[in-house]
Structure 1
Amino acid sequence: MPVSAPGAVLRHEDWLVRRLLRHPVRIVPLGFLVAILLGTGLLMLPPATEEHRITPFLTALFTATSAVSVTGMVVVDTPDYWTPVGLVMITVLTQVGGLGILTGGTLVILLVARQLGLRNRLLVQAETAEFGIGDVRRLLLRIGLTMLVCEAVMTTVLALRFVLAYDYSPGRALWYGFFHAVQAFNNGGFSLYRDNLTGFAHDGWVTLPLAFGSIIGGLGFPALFEATRSWRRPGRWTIGTKLTVWGSLVLLAVAFAVLLAAEWSNPRTLGSLGWEGKALAAFTQDAFVRTGGFNTLDITGLDEASYPLLIALMFIGGGSASTAGGIKVATFFLLAFAIWAEVRGEPDVTVGRRRAATASQRQALTVALLSVALVVAGTVALILLTERLSYDRALFEVTSAFSTTGLSTGVAPTLPPAGQLILIALMYIGRVGTLTLGSAIALNTRRRLYRYPEEQPIVG
């Protein structure tokens, strides 16, 4: 029987590596899947739970998927069910997931640029600011340093506040500060408190650092680096940075005003607070709702008018190549500019005196429509599995899972196994789906040497 030479095995492995790099969009889903499976196995170990028993597979899978996809949705009470060992595992999975999203998303952009033609390559490189293919090492170091600095600042502020205002021991204060700092920057949403952050709704020293950390982590490094480098000349920002930064500010302002007005007199949320407390709680909840995952207001106590706002914000999400989920801010506002140009009869879609590429508009429309279809399908499936679940609650849970936000009305723990599997699939698809889909569409862009005759069908 012939035996393969060692060189043949090495050549086969090299071939696999080259094939993966030839299609970089395959690496991201595979990497997240491996991390989820490893996390599931670790969380099933007896030392991870308070009862020191093997965690049920579905519970471990749900928690691992939620942590790696930085969602924060839970089916068990986090502080009561998991031991410190289990909580450390969740923290590590969240950090790995967040760092993987940031580096993976940014590197896929660069790898996509590498495989496009010269014209499209220059367009993509314009969106990644000063970073090129040869700057990967410097880019990764900058991403890691930014993450560590932000988390260190939040940990310090929270730890000092817990010691000075709540009489925590230094060790406990440091652990609580670090855990929530990691969750905030990575937009995870796991909390060591049974009521999440509702007990700190009036304390800006706790909620504001976490809110700003969530916002920074949700901007995305392409936009964050360019905005900080050229903050004095915002007019020179690329279209992607303009849509992400200014769009995020618009969403924060509008959502703050609407949420404050809707919940002002609601005794279950803002009604019992003074005007300063109401403004603080509304702003922080507004910041967390776009995939941050924490809640300073009781989600089950919200007025019915607030749910459509939260669902819309979760669906939009944060910036591209960020720890946030959703269809992304740039996608939403690019479609808004396209609609505005069509209403005005403009031949081009312009953003800040720059013309948006037609291919980008088509990609944004594809991502948005497929995401809508996925959310609708998930909602219908969840309702069919649980006949007593109302449409608005099902839509809220499905959108929260798909956008990797993690906010919940308390439905997830009561779902049957099939319903929890649907949320698991949505968390995974929502995390890797939009990035993979966008990259795949970009890589599939090709230029024909011929064009068919044009027709204009009646629309509407």
Structure 2
Amino acid sequence: MRSNLPHPPPLPGRPRRPVVSRFTPPQLIAVVYLVGIALGTALLHLPGVTTPGAALTSIDRLFTATSAICITGLVVADTGETFTRAGQLVIMGLAQVGGLGILTFGTLFAFLTGRRVNFTERQHLVQQINALDVGGVVPLIRIIFLYTVVGEVAGALLLALRFVPQFGWGEGLYHAVFHAISAYNNAGFVVVPGGMGQYAQDPLVSLTISALILLGGLGFLVQLNVLTHLLNPRRNRLLVYSKLTLLTTGLLVVLGTVLLLVLEWANTRTLGPLAPGGKLLAALFQSVTPRSGGLATVDIAGMTSASLFLLIALMFVGANSGSTGGGIKTSTLAILVGSAWNMVRGRGELIAFGRRVESENLVRAGTVTTLYALLVSAAFFAMLATNPRLGFTELLFETVSAAATVGLSLNTTPRINDAGLLILTALMYLGRIGPLTFATSFSLRGGQGRGVKYPPERDILVG
């Protein structure tokens, strides 16, 4: 018989466990970003966020909110022309929150209210930013916030040197701040009238935005490790992870720049009309932006097929772990390539900068790459089935751009139907939180089958 008596209060000294602590770190990340997308979509439905005559459907607003908070930059219409200043500020705010991480902002608000951050919440933060030390994650969040503000302010001041003379003080400062936040968080949104193409040969704008994209794509831990190492090399060594990501990032940027120069030098739709110095600057910018930046100073749709394949490959790799970028990550590529090279040479262990790479990292790298490949393949097939009028290359480029949260497009996004937009929306969400994080969010606490040892099977042929 059901009792009508009220439930007894919890015993003193045994408080109820907060709802947040009932989630595993992957589950919390997945849920929080879903909530962020829902709130962003609601904000973009408010009156006054779009210009008169802008015909945006609910799916368009959902797509835009997801693109902003997942720091992608794919758009169904020109951001500067379709959204009012209020709408642009909503998009900028979503990009800032998505770049730093919703959980990071939650911790910052906890600091302001004086609430302590418990160990479970520290685990959630470690999962989100790939921190190496749970004990030091809370001071790390403070540094991340300050470091991000300093980087964005510095970028905005540099961009203001160009935008203020061009647009005046009010508009110039607004455009400088907006694009500094967009570039540093690898968001890819543009509101400057005329687009970024007008700055293809402008060293100040191109190099500033390129630097902001690279800084955001390096990841907070790498930036802080490099900074502390430069300030005190004897006490703070440069981590192997930092060396690996810096080396891989540098090689990809240089390789991309050289190949784009060769492939696009005489292309009248891209680098052809530019001066030699402008060609180098534009090639460098287009080599940096597929790392998850999403901004472009030339017409990507006018590139040769070989260049588009190169951009697709760079987008698939993406930025670094714990950064504002997507993709399988540069460290994953480095581990896979190093492991393959070791196997070819007959070596058993992967050694990087005098340190042995654990086998668990090799398994994780292979898992991440496999999941990304399967995700992109399945989504690409669905895009082909739902948008048969669009070309193979266009849809492949769009699919990889969404999955890697890059935001580059061959001017295809506005021509995609609602079914395709929903597919890309799901891709941007999965690309932001990571397919591995999403997959492990369904696993039970503690897992099943732990501690059970099965006999090995060596008679399996591979390769």
Q: State the TM-score, normalized to the length of structure 2.
A: 0.88
In the alignment, the residues of structure 2 paired with residue 194 and residue 246 of structure 1 have an alpha-carbon distance, to the nearest angstrom, of 36
Report which stretch shifted further, 312-321 or 134-143: 134-143
Residue number in structure 1 paired with 2:460: 457
CA-CA distance at 1:352 after TM superposition: 1.3
CA-CA distance at 1:12 after TM superposition: 8.6
Structure 1's 443 and 240: CA in aligned 2 closer, same or farther, altered over 3 A? farther
What secondary structure does 2:35 align onto? helix
Paired residues of 2:71 and 2:98 also in contact (CA < 8 A): yes
Paired residues of 1:284 and 1:296 also in contact (CA < 8 A): yes
Residue number in structure 2 paired with 1:30: 31
In the alignment, the residues of structure 2 paired with residue 446 and residue 266 of structure 1 have an alpha-carbon distance, to the nearest angstrom, of 58
Q: 1:372-451, aligned counterparts within 5 Å?
A: 372-434=373-435, 436=437, 448=451, 450-451=453-454
Counterpart of 2:169, as a letter, is P
In the alignment, the residues of structure 1 paired with residue 282 and residue 422 of structure 2 have an alpha-carbon distance, to the nearest angstrom, of 33
Residue number in structure 2 paired with 1:223: 222
In the alignment, the residues of structure 2 paired with residue 435 and residue 366 of structure 1 have an alpha-carbon distance, to the nearest angstrom, of 8
Report which stretch shifted further, 433-442 or 89-98: 433-442
In the alignment, the residues of structure 2 paired with residue 196 and residue 179 of structure 1 have an alpha-carbon distance, to the nearest angstrom, of 13
Residue number in structure 2 paired with 1:50: 51
In the alignment, the residues of structure 1 paired with residue 288 and residue 245 of structure 2 have an alpha-carbon distance, to the nearest angstrom, of 15
CA-CA distance at 1:437 after TM superposition: 5.1
In the alignment, the residues of structure 1 paired with residue 386 and residue 14 of structure 2 have an alpha-carbon distance, to the nearest angstrom, of 49
In the alignment, the residues of structure 1 paired with residue 299 and residue 102 of structure 2 have an alpha-carbon distance, to the nearest angstrom, of 29
Paired residues of 2:10 and 2:16 also in contact (CA < 8 A): no
Report which stretch shifted further, 154-163 or 34-43: 154-163
Higher share in helix:
1
Paired residues of 1:314 and 1:405 also in contact (CA < 8 A): yes
In the alignment, the residues of structure 1 paired with residue 435 and residue 215 of structure 2 have an alpha-carbon distance, to the nearest angstrom, of 20
In the alignment, the residues of structure 1 paired with residue 102 and residue 405 of structure 2 have an alpha-carbon distance, to the nearest angstrom, of 12
Counterpart of 1:14, as a letter, is R
Residue number in structure 2 paired with 1:118: none
In the alignment, the residues of structure 1 paired with residue 252 and residue 318 of structure 2 have an alpha-carbon distance, to the nearest angstrom, of 10
Question: Which stretches in structure 2 are left out of the alignment for 5+ residues?
Answer: 109-118
Residue number in structure 2 paired with 1:14: 17
Structure 1's 170 and 142: CA in aligned 2 closer, same or farther, altered over 3 A? same
Q: Percent identity?
A: 38
Alpha-carbon RMSD: 3.0
In the alignment, the residues of structure 1 paired with residue 309 and residue 396 of structure 2 have an alpha-carbon distance, to the nearest angstrom, of 10
What secondary structure does 2:406 align onto? coil
In the alignment, the residues of structure 1 paired with residue 331 and residue 177 of structure 2 have an alpha-carbon distance, to the nearest angstrom, of 31
Question: What is the total number of aligned residue pairs between the two structures?
Answer: 442
In the alignment, the residues of structure 2 paired with residue 69 and residue 170 of structure 1 have an alpha-carbon distance, to the nearest angstrom, of 30
Q: 1:255-270, aligned counterparts within 5 Å?
A: 255-270=256-271
Paired residues of 2:131 and 2:137 also in contact (CA < 8 A): no
Residue number in structure 2 paired with 1:91: 92
CA-CA distance at 1:353 after TM superposition: 1.5
Paired residues of 1:112 and 1:439 also in contact (CA < 8 A): no
Q: 1:295-374, aligned counterparts within 5 Å?
A: 295-374=296-375
In the alignment, the residues of structure 2 paired with residue 39 and residue 458 of structure 1 have an alpha-carbon distance, to the nearest angstrom, of 49
Residue number in structure 2 paired with 1:284: 285
Residue number in structure 1 paired with 2:168: 169
CA-CA distance at 1:18 after TM superposition: 2.9
In the alignment, the residues of structure 2 paired with residue 332 and residue 426 of structure 1 have an alpha-carbon distance, to the nearest angstrom, of 21
CA-CA distance at 1:30 after TM superposition: 1.0
Structure 1 outlier segments of 4+, above 6 Å? 110-115, 438-443
Q: 1:120-159, aligned counterparts within 5 Å?
A: 128=131, 132-159=133-160
Residue number in structure 1 paired with 2:184: 185
Paired residues of 1:91 and 1:182 also in contact (CA < 8 A): yes
Paired residues of 2:49 and 2:87 also in contact (CA < 8 A): yes
Counterpart of 1:198, as a letter, is G
In the alignment, the residues of structure 1 paired with residue 245 and residue 449 of structure 2 have an alpha-carbon distance, to the nearest angstrom, of 27
Q: State the TM-score, normalized to the length of structure 1.
A: 0.89
Q: Deviations over 1:134-175 (max 9, x none)?
A: 3233111100011100110111111122233x2x21011100
CA-CA distance at 1:205 after TM superposition: 1.0
Paired residues of 1:78 and 1:194 also in contact (CA < 8 A): no
Paired residues of 2:49 and 2:86 also in contact (CA < 8 A): yes
CA-CA distance at 1:103 after TM superposition: 3.9
Residue number in structure 1 paired with 2:111: none
Paired residues of 2:229 and 2:236 also in contact (CA < 8 A): no
Question: Which stretches in structure 1 are left out of the alignment for 5+ residues?
Answer: 116-120
Structure 1's 54 and 262: CA in aligned 2 closer, same or farther, altered over 3 A? closer
Residue number in structure 2 paired with 1:2: 5
Structure 1's 52 and 39: CA in aligned 2 closer, same or farther, altered over 3 A? farther
Paired residues of 2:54 and 2:82 also in contact (CA < 8 A): no
What secondary structure does 1:14 align onto? coil
Paired residues of 1:383 and 1:391 also in contact (CA < 8 A): yes
What secondary structure does 1:266 align onto? coil
CA-CA distance at 1:434 after TM superposition: 3.9
